[in-house]
Amino acid sequence: MGNNDEDNLIVASDEDQTDLSAAEDTLSLAGALTGSQKSISQPPDIPGYRIVGLLGEGGMGAVWEAEQDRPRRRVALKVMRREHQVDELHSRLFHREAETLARLKHPNIAAIYETGHTEEGRDYFAMELARGRTLDQWLSSRPQLIDADELDLRLRVFRTICAAVNYAHQRGVIHRDLKPSNIILGEGDHEASGSAAGTTESTVKILDFGLARITDTDVAATMVSEIGTIKGTLPYMSPEQARGDVESIDVRTDVYALGVILYEMLAGRRPYDIHRSALAEAVRVICFDSPRPLKDSWSGTRRSDADLETIVGKALEKESDRRYGSAAALSEDIDRYLASQPIMARPPSARYQLKKMVQRNRPMFAAVAAGLCGLLIAVVATTWGMLHARHAERRAARDAAIAQAVNDFLNDDLLAAVAPSTQKGRGKDVLMREVLDAAAETIDQTATADGRFADKPLVEAAIRSTLGGTYQRLGLYDAAEPHFLRALDIHEPLHGDDDPALAVALAELGSLYDLQGRYDEAEPLLVRALDIWIHTLGEEHRDTLWAMNALAKMYSRKGDSDKAEPLFLRCLEIARRVLSDHHPNTISTMASLANFYQEHGRFAEAEPLHLEALELRIRIYGEDSGDTMRAMNNL
């Protein structure tokens, strides 16, 4: 059973360039083609192209091999079936999207050379003619039983596919119709029948990036035949696509399709058996039923690996927030698996970490008894859990006491010092600067050797942090600095590099130096703060993401784009995955990355991020909010 539609046909197959028998099996999952689909007339003359022959056709149109006049080359000419009036709005939007797609310059993405409209009003695309086999054809030529070498080969091919998809995502282009028939392995990729020989990453090509969006024909519009049965792309649709929820389609939609492709590469079948289902039943299965466990479909010579099951399972999550946040994150876990490193999709428990270490160092651990290891790990995990819980309780009590002491100081000392009944506050309006100066004077007095905060350094540090932050927000940077310095001096000897409170103090002073343009002083403070947060809270914690974004912005202002860009990208990937696209921190990171691209003249990459951030801000805050107005100004 195949799975191709017209997108299979941008391939000049070595076996038969006009063989439609395979396509006829796959254009509809219900059965045969209609007579009109089997016979197609040559399109009217398109200036600059000479039609050589039909490569194939499908629900969206036909694909012809053509010879382009200038430059002289063979191309795949895709002429869309849908006819419409080419008004000014359609033409402008069409060409804007086409220009974005044409800027995708990647060795594993089939290039779009030119776009336009026929005299009949049909869109056409001149694309790179990729010669070779589709991924499903290539897989059918590979060994049915997957040994270690074959598994390594397939995962490396899949990793190459992920890299190309992620490249497009970073430039604001979502494929929305990924499937094996849209992935071509060049002529050298299928010569070896049982080994990795003859396979090179450079010959993998992904077809039709963004065409579903550019032609305004999303998958929901092309999946039902005349008799209400399923067209070929539904098995690779994410639940949000199958529901027709266009608003929820984002890069994680492509991640889901990659998960189906990975499952098929490992198991030789898809995770759902819907090829004979009616449309409503197939949509229900995709949206609600759990995929068939990979271990039940596994075609390897050894038992399926739990890590691969976890990777595939995360990519196929029903809720997009639970999937990998990007194709890069999915590819990273494949890299970790190939290197016998712990994958990110699984909580890195002590037992799991030890298991991966044993795999990497089998001779060293061959004599260690499994029972002893299990006992030791259980004791350590239990003890650590008890200590961690007690430590958390003590920290919560300490933080509550500090918060109460700070609140008392603000009410009893700061506000009382400038009340109208006092000398400082009598007979005039009190300025915020005067309030802060009075508080600073008070804290200096109470922090002396005989003052009431002499034995409460953490209370003093919290008050210093509050004063410094308020001075900073007023633009009084010189007044803020001594308070941040004092807070850091207090935290440094008390905590060391194992307490987030020290990270806060480092980040506050580093951010102040960043605002002052003192980047060489800011960098080590922000780097150290980020390291502490990653170590103590994990990379996905909101405080960690804030620090990551702050450090990236500092690098950007400093002019160190090589360090700024990967931090922005990593921060945005985690924020999308952990916080969702609608979280304010995610939107802020999105805008920061867009501004970075804009400042470096990379407008094609900046625009889609600015547009996405603006759309989200309008939806969340409304058109009249300050954040929304600033986002409009950025565009």
With bands split at pLDDT 50, 70 and 90, how would you rate the model's confidence at 92?
Answer: low
Q: Choose between 95 and 395: higher pLDDT.
A: 95
- 382 burial class (0-12, 13-18, 19+ CB within 10 angstroms)? exposed
User: Which residues of the chain are in CATH 1.10.510.10 domains?
Assistant: 6-338
pLDDT at 67 (0 to 100): 93
Residues labelled catalytic: 177
Element (H, E) at 183: strand 183-186
pLDDT at 27 (0 to 100): 27
Q: Angle at CA 458, nearest 5°, toward 455 and 462?
A: 135
pLDDT at 328 over 80: yes
pLDDT at 222 over 50: no
Instruction: Name the token pair of 27.
Output: 């254009």
Q: How many CB atoms lie within 10 A of CB 555?
A: 25
What would the mean pLDDT of 605-634 be, rounded to a whole number?
76
What would the mean pLDDT of 478-486 be, rounded to a whole number?
89
Q: Choose between 308 and 469: higher pLDDT.
A: 308
With bands split at pLDDT 50, 70 and 90, how would you rate the model's confidence at 252?
Answer: very high
Q: What CATH topology corresponds to 432-634?
A: 1.25.40
pLDDT digit string, tens, across residues 263-300: 999 999 999 988 777 777 888 889 888 899 888 888 77
Domain boundaries 6-338, corresponding CATH code = 1.10.510.10
Contacts (Cβ under 8 Å, ≥6 apart) of 114: 48, 68, 125, 126
pLDDT at 460 (0 to 100): 80
pLDDT at 271 (0 to 100): 93
User: Which residues of the chain are in CATH 1.25.40.10 domains?
Assistant: 432-634
pLDDT at 353 (0 to 100): 47
With bands split at pLDDT 50, 70 and 90, how would you rate the model's confidence at 573?
Answer: very high
What would the mean pLDDT of 180-185 be, rounded to a whole number?
91
With bands split at pLDDT 50, 70 and 90, how would you rate the model's confidence at 553?
Answer: very high
Among 271-280, 319-328, 608-617, the minimum mean pLDDT is found in 271-280
pTM of the model: 0.50
What would the mean pLDDT of 449-472 be, rounded to a whole number?
76
pLDDT at 111 (0 to 100): 85
How far apart CA 551 and CA 572 sit, in angstroms, is 13
With bands split at pLDDT 50, 70 and 90, how would you rate the model's confidence at 570?
Answer: very high
CB 572 within 8 A of CB 593: yes
pLDDT at 14 (0 to 100): 38
How far apart CA 238 and CA 219 sit, in angstroms, is 10
What would the mean pLDDT of 221-231 be, rounded to a whole number?
35
Top mean-pLDDT range of 118-127, 166-175, 613-622, 625-634: 166-175
In the sheet that holds 204-206, the strands lie side by side as 11-12, 130-134, 183-186, 204-206
- Percent residues over pLDDT 70 in the chain: 66
CA 106 vs CA 127, 193, 206, 213, 561: distances in Å: 14, 28, 10, 20, 21
pLDDT at 542 (0 to 100): 84
What would the mean pLDDT of 608-635 be, rounded to a whole number?
74
Q: What residues are paired with 126 via a beta bridge?
A: 77, 114
Q: What is the mean pLDDT of the chain?
A: 74
Q: What share of the chain is helix, strand, coil (3-state, %, to 5)?
A: 60, 10, 30
Q: What residues are paired with 76 via a beta bridge?
A: 65, 127
Q: Choose between 621 and 369: higher pLDDT.
A: 621
Among 5-14, 152-161, 428-437, the minimum mean pLDDT is found in 5-14
Query: 338 — alpha (psi -120 to 50), left (phi > 0) or beta?
Result: alpha
pLDDT at 347 over 60: no
